[in-house]
Amino acid sequence: MRVGGVGAAAALAAGVWLAWVLATREFRGGRALETAAEIPAVLPPLILGTYFAFALAGRAEGFTWRTAAVAAAVAALPAMVRAARAAFDGIPRDYGNAARSLGAPGWRVFWRVTAPLAYRPILAAASLAFARLAAEYAVTILVAAQGGARSALLAGPLLPSVGMAAVAALILANRLERRQVRI
Amino acid sequence: MTSARIGKKTAGGISLDVEFSVPPGVTALFGPSGAGKTLILEALAGFATPDSGRILVDDALLFDAAAQVSVPPHRRACGYVAQRDGLFPHMTLRQNLAFAAHRSPRVERTRRVAEALERFQLGGAAAKRPQEIGPPEKLRGAVARALLAAPKLLLLDERGCGEALLRTIREAFPGPILLVTNDLDLCCAAAERLILLDAGRMVQSGPPRGVLDRPESVDAARVLGIPNVFECSIAALDPGRNSSRLEFSGFAINGPYAPGHFRGDRVWVTVWAEDLRVHAGETERRNNAVPVELVRVSRGVRTVRMEFAGGIFVDVPNEEYEGKKDSKSWQVEFVAEKVRVL
């Protein structure tokens, strides 16, 4: 849960920021940045995990929940960027233009206009990401326990809690999407 | 002083090249779709960056391409009401107005919002969200919100603006207003100045009545929607009688004296459709009238547009047409004073 929660939160923060920059600014390297953010999505989790393992090989901290959370955040980043970008692009330009014409600088436009209109689909994506990350981490733990009695011991508490997290996340995502403000 | 010189080429094919000033009062921008009217408003508001030019609002420099000056939209003090009202859907109307007055202290903000709600007759809709109110209230709400931000220039890209609303706006805001409209009646009733735009260029500008009565070019006549635009030659000139003889292919009429022209010159003339007279079933030829064949009839709400051979269009009231519609012979009379030589 900790890995999933921290990973999803980090992916949410980074994904929203990156999506906001890509949606509102045109700059050299923008397309390259957008493509780079998608790379973790095309890599199977095993390959992504292997990259992290190589990066951590020989380091004192090794594989801890913190490094697992970072890996989880990287894995969830593409989905968060996509969801946030779609949410921002779905808001008509007229609202941002109206806010700016009323004297609102960029941060005020984001907090008072864009975020309230976009947060529901973004949070829905974040909750699904959390459930997915928690489940993938649980599978990883079970596989790493290499079967047998140890896996059976871990499966007891892990599987029900991961299942409940997935269901709760789905329910939250559905409710958020149903209550989306009509634009 | 508020003035603008804007040059811009867009990916959509609009090539804008205009220069104009906006005095206090209403200046109307009129032209066909794609003429660049909205682009002008967006350039003034800072949502589109011109390729060249200079923009001054109340003597403050907002944009200068040569000096690379471009003030961001939130510091331009240009109130902007878009075609789509832009009221924030997650806020009530009162909250929308309060957003515009955010720089005022709380007590002052509450007072100004209450005043705006009363002035624009929005008290009943104050607690509702934009999705719950009708288009007229939404438009008044968007205008009230724009004025609460204390703009120095008001940009209205709103085709639904009526005379009554413009009057209310003028009472609340004495500064310059640039209005995009496709209502020539509104221009005459409420605007001090009319700018005709076509394909990104200013075709004519001036007091609305003057522009409508005296289009200066074929382009101006076409933008105004004058259907009768003909080429002819000047057969005779009589400055003493303030008249001239104009020869078209197939007929000739008397028109006004055309100073600056000579006999034999090829000129263009225009006449509004409602300034021509239709006579039905008469055997004798009227003075300054042309026998014509009726080609087509289009019925409107109050008038009927009759199209005659030779591209002559005449608008008559429904009742007049009903009394003449069964006629087999027609004459169209040109009233000399209403013929305009371009």
Q: Which of B197, B222, B247 is the last residue of a domain?
A: B222
Pick from A54-63, B50-59, B153-162 the range whose average pLDDT is largest. B50-59
Mean pLDDT of chain A: 73
H or E element in which residue B70 lies: strand B69-70
Q: Which of B222, B245, B266 is the last residue of a domain?
A: B222
CB B22 within 8 A of CB B175: no
Mean pLDDT of chain B: 92
CA distance B207 to chain A (A): 29
CB B119 within 8 A of CB B97: no
CB B60 within 8 A of CB B176: no
Residue B232 sits in the same domain as residue B250: yes
Tokens 């471009």 belong to residue: B70
In chain B, count H helices and then E strands.
9, 22
Measured between CB atoms, does B99 come within 8 Å of chain A?
yes
CB B117 within 8 A of CB B94: yes
- DSSP secondary structure string, A2-16? HHHHHHHHHHHHHHH
Query: What's the pLDDT score for residue A37?
Result: 72
Residue B44 sits in the same domain as residue B161: yes
CB B4 within 8 A of CB B56: yes
Cα–Cα dist B220/B232, whole Å: 18
Chain B CB contacts of A104 under 8 Å are 74, 99, 102
Q: Which of B77, B86, B145 sits opposite A94 (nearest CB)?
A: B86
- B286 or B5, higher pLDDT: B5
Q: Which of A102, A108, A116 sits opposite B145 (nearest CB)?
A: A102
pLDDT digits (tens, 9 = 90+) for B290-299: 999 999 999 9
Residue B162 sits in the same domain as residue B66: yes
ipTM associated with this complex: 0.83
Residue B201 sits in the same domain as residue B240: no
Q: Which CATH number is B322's domain given?
A: 2.40.50.100
Query: What's the pLDDT score for residue A1?
Result: 66
Mean pLDDT in residue range A123-139: 70
The domain total for chain B is 2
Nearest alpha carbon to residue A129 among A84, A169, A81, A174: A169
Residue B184 sits in the same domain as residue B80: yes
Chain B CB contacts of A113 under 8 Å are 88
User: Two tokens at A168?
Assistant: 């709760």
Residue B267 sits in the same domain as residue B212: no
Contact B146 A92 (CB under 8 A): no
Whether the pLDDT of residue B304 is over 80: the answer is yes
Measured between CB atoms, does B130 come within 8 Å of chain A?
no
Q: What is the DSSP letter of B132?
A: G
Q: Which residues contact B59 (CB under 8 A, 6 or more apart)?
A: B1
Question: Residue B53: helix, strand or coil by DSSP?
Answer: strand
Q: Kind of pairing, strands B176-180 and B25-30?
A: parallel
Classify residue A64 as exposed, middle or buried by CB count within 10 Å of its CB (0-12, 13-18, 19+). exposed
Q: Which of B194, B222, B250 is the last residue of a domain?
A: B222
Residue B210 sits in the same domain as residue B77: yes
Mean pLDDT in residue range B122-131: 94
Chain A CB contacts of B78 under 8 Å are 101
**Residues of the domain holding B87:** 3-222
- DSSP secondary structure string, B171-227? HH--SEEEEE-S-HHHHHHH-SEEEEEETTEEEEEE-HHHHHH---SHHHHHHHT--
Of all residues in chain B, the percent with pLDDT exceeding 90 is 74
- DSSP secondary structure string, B85-96? ----TTS-HHHH
Cα–Cα dist B98/B91, whole Å: 10
Query: What's the pLDDT score for residue A149?
Result: 54
Mean pLDDT in residue range A150-154: 54
Please report which confidence band the pLDDT of residue A166 belongs to, taking 50, 70 and 90 as the band edges.
Answer: low
Query: What's the pLDDT score for residue B54?
Result: 96
Buried residues in A22-32 as b, exposed as e (16+ CB within 10 A) = bbeeeeeeeee
Query: What's the pLDDT score for residue B284?
Result: 85
Q: Kind of pairing, strands B176-180 and B153-156?
A: parallel
Query: What's the pLDDT score for residue A3?
Result: 67
| Site from A101, A179, A180 to mutate, B interface, most B CB atoms within 10 angstroms | A101
Contact A97 B78 (CB under 8 A): no
Angle at B284 between CA B279 and CA B288, to 5 degrees: 65
Question: Residue B23: helix, strand or coil by DSSP?
Answer: coil
Chain A CB contacts of B143 under 8 Å are none
Which CATH fold would you assign to the domain A2-178? MetI-like fold (1.10.3720)
Contact A117 B89 (CB under 8 A): yes
CB B113 within 8 A of CB B94: yes
Q: Which residues contact B12 (CB under 8 A, 6 or more apart)?
A: none
CA distance A19 to chain B (A): 21
Nearest alpha carbon to residue A8 among A72, A83, A65: A72
Please give the radius of gyration of chain B, using alpha carbons only, rounded to the nearest integer: 25
Query: What's the pLDDT score for residue A55?
Result: 64
Mean pLDDT in residue range B184-195: 92
Cα–Cα dist B214/B275, whole Å: 14
Q: What is the DSSP letter of B47?
A: S
Residue B178 sits in the same domain as residue B236: no
Residue B277 sits in the same domain as residue B251: yes
Whether the pLDDT of residue B72 is over 80: the answer is yes
Of all residues in chain B, the percent with pLDDT exceeding 70 is 99
- A168 or B163, higher pLDDT: B163
Question: Residue B332: helix, strand or coil by DSSP?
Answer: strand
Surface of A (81-100) touching B: CB under 8 A: 92-95, 97-100
Nearest alpha carbon to residue B50 among B63, B35, B31, B36: B63
Residue B260 sits in the same domain as residue B117: no
Q: Kind of pairing, strands B330-334 and B289-292?
A: antiparallel
